[in-house]
Amino acid sequence: MEPIRVLSFDAENPDENIIAMMKTLHNTLGRASKDHDEERFKIVRQPGGMNLRSRRERTVFQREVAIHQPDLVVMGPAYKMGAKGLHGESWEDAAAEFLDVLDQMRTKYEFGLIVEAHTSKGEGIDPQGSAYFSQWPEVGLGLARHKENEMMIDVEEWRPNRIPGLGWPKSMVFDPVWLFAGTFV
């Protein structure tokens, strides 16, 4: 595949975790690809969360998108980026506004979007919170621990795929060099 520009907004993980994981991946990419350019990938870390429903924090998000000009934005988790109800507000109202912000941004700046959403404990792989999260995406994938192999994660659809012809792996196996490797059979 052609290399693309990626911008990641991490609203949960401590800096040390991200830096250690990305250093391994960066070193692997540098050895394995003549096309590797570290300028194509940027991470914005805010472990305390980032409320995209706030005008100030939405401006920070938009500024990063405008400067980096990504083909793909990876962000999450959704509940730490403005999708939760505050002060008695319903999940539905919060999610509708949050997803509207994302739709406006991806339309204006023309990027693909992957949003991490957590599941409710013990309730399958559907995203936690509003029903909007189940209706909104073009593709809805969930990750579940493989029952027989602790080094494997199953990839399952939790909503019908609206984009035909996409080749998602059936599972992923942890890999010490590439972080994970997809299996398609």
**Tens of pLDDT, residues 111-168:** 999 999 887 776 677 777 777 877 888 888 988 889 999 999 999 888 888 888 888 8
Percentage of residues of the chain with pLDDT beyond 70: 96
pLDDT score, position 85: 66
Give 159's strand partners.
Answer: 140
**Domains, the chain, ordered by start:** 6-137 (3.40.50.300), 139-185 (no CATH)
Q: Give the type of residue at 61.
A: F
Residue 164 tokens read as: 């035909």
Residues 6+ apart with CB under 8 A from 13: 45, 47
pLDDT score, position 122: 62
